[in-house]
Structure 1
Amino acid sequence: MSGPLSGLRIVEIAGLGPTPFTAMVLADMGAEVVRIERPGNRHLLGLSYDILNRGRGFVPLDLKSGAGRGAARRLIARADGLIEGLRPGVMERLGLGPEDFPENRRLVYGRMTGWGQSGPLAQTAGHDINYIALSGALHAIGPAERPVPPLNLVGDFGSGAMYLAFGMVCAFLEAARTGRGQVVDAAISDGTAHQMAMIQAMAAGGLWSQAREANLLDGAAPFYRCYACKCGGFLAVGAIEPKFWAEFLRLAGIAEAAMPAQMDRDRWPEARARIAARIAERRRDDWAQVFAGSDACAVPVLTLAEAPAHPHNAARATHVVHDGVVQPAPAPKLSRTPGRIGEGSQTRPLEIGALLDRWGA
């Protein structure tokens, strides 16, 4: 395995959403990740191929049995890191908590939850929509009528998995200096609040209204929203800077002098209506050709099926075909030790004895 994290050994306790994504990200960057799954509990999402499980194998272990816990314990005792997303206290009750490995002082123990390891809600159930709701982010997303869940990108993946991956890499770096690991308590609610730093600052400075669809970046501004095209597709416009706004209007065939001033918020509805009428005159792909290669900050809204074939994505190999499935390539791109998708099998379990021998456990 190549990549900047080559040489790191990580045990993943199988779960949904943010924990397998964290494991995928670390495996893409070269870490050797082994997933522990409950016997017979394959494909938790009902998928025959789960992209989140790529690049690593699994061992079927029943952690409710003494033998299963013993095997897991021997693996974790030799690992550099562990990823788990169970409710607080579950791993401790299994005898696999962070204090149960005094012989492995370098262990980085990554814990992924919605509410965190402490606090009044720590033991309660929830999902992405709940965590981003209490963090203030969900209220700001969507049309004026109601908040709209932004898939589970903001919570599970952006505020959960990526924060856990970042926290674990930070802890690996610190452990390399001190020889001591630590617990990474990654809460989706914390990460979401952290991601709202810029919006929080704008609100504190009086530049962000608590109302939805009334602000610079939430679809209210005529220069930062999506417009429907004649074919039913959409054009995404992000022409914030005045020179980009002027270029957008020029290429769209709209006289800037006849439009309200760009930052005249009282006339934003009028500006939106005029642009919407113009964009509705042509098909999405026609507009894409008009704006291609310009600084108008206007691009077509592509479907999941269309995105891999876009010339820019294709040129950067943003998507790859692996195991016969189109999927995103490892990111970000490193110049000297780039990540790659490993050859771990999703369908064939690893032989636990051979794995323990190889890990020296």
Structure 2
Amino acid sequence: MANITEKIERQITALEGKIDALSGNYLTNTWKRQREQQERDRKKEMYHSQIQVLQFLKQKSETDTLTLLEQNLTVAAFYEDMRCFSASKKYCKDNPYCKFQYPKPDDVRTKRLQKAGITDTDELAAAVECFDTLLQSAVIPPDPNAIRLRDMLYRAKMYQKGDIQFTPPELAKELVALAGVRKDSRVLEPEAGIGNIADVAKEVTDHVDCIERMTDFCEILKLKKHNVIGNDLLTAETAPIYDAVVMNPPFSEECEHIKRAFDFLRPGGSLVAVCSSSIQWKSTRKYEQFRDWLSEHTHSIDECGAKFEMTGVHTVVLVVDKAA
């Protein structure tokens, strides 16, 4: 069985390589790109299932003899044949106008079936039943919540315009680091969106709360297991209990949102926000009053190197400390 084991290991390595090739950081900000991503996800799920079957067969081969069907399933082309025959058999069962049949003699699949000892429609139907039983034993079904979360995240990207701009993951890491978040820190992400900042903060501390207005985004946050404490920063009851407030406010209302979020900080805490560079130079009354407010607190403003997916607005990172 050493040869079978080596063959299975090579197959698993090849499939893992295919999964890696499909797991790049692809843009999904148009419907066309989302369809392309959905196809990549479908292929990855298919390869993950195949890997689980191969691992199951490898484990069995170490203590028992594989059947002729199982031996042939270690061949990628034959495995794909059986996967397609299984889907075809299910379709024909539900469709009275379709009849499940053995492929024609000149079909390239026929030779592979004969090599596995499958020579007619009845034997093929029996082999498909064995294949389906093997899948049930070997493959762990994907988490429906994880699939829903993935699909909702794709759809959420189509909301991005105007004030809705999701924080790039690399920028979220920078913001959380600037906030000095530690294991025992209490962190708030107001206007959490899909929780990119909260995701990073939760890698450091379990004490992360979110505020989010949009219903779909709230569901995404809950699927991510984030604690949503309200749906509107400007009307939420303030409680100065957080060690860090990390935020990406709507740029059209950034002044009032940042000042409001500051009220959630405990003395000695820090607010970190990505905002437009308008806070430095815009001469409207709102921005002038905001700069006056900033002058009353220890703060810093630095250039933001990260790029937002759907906006060309020049951004900066603001850090405001609350006096102890």
Bin of the TM-score, shorter chain as denominator length: under 0.3
Higher-Rg member (1/2): 2
> Higher relative contact order at CA 8 Å, sep ≥6: structure 1 or structure 2?
1
Which structure has greater helix proportion?
A: 2
TM-score, with normalisation over the residues of structure 2?
A: 0.24
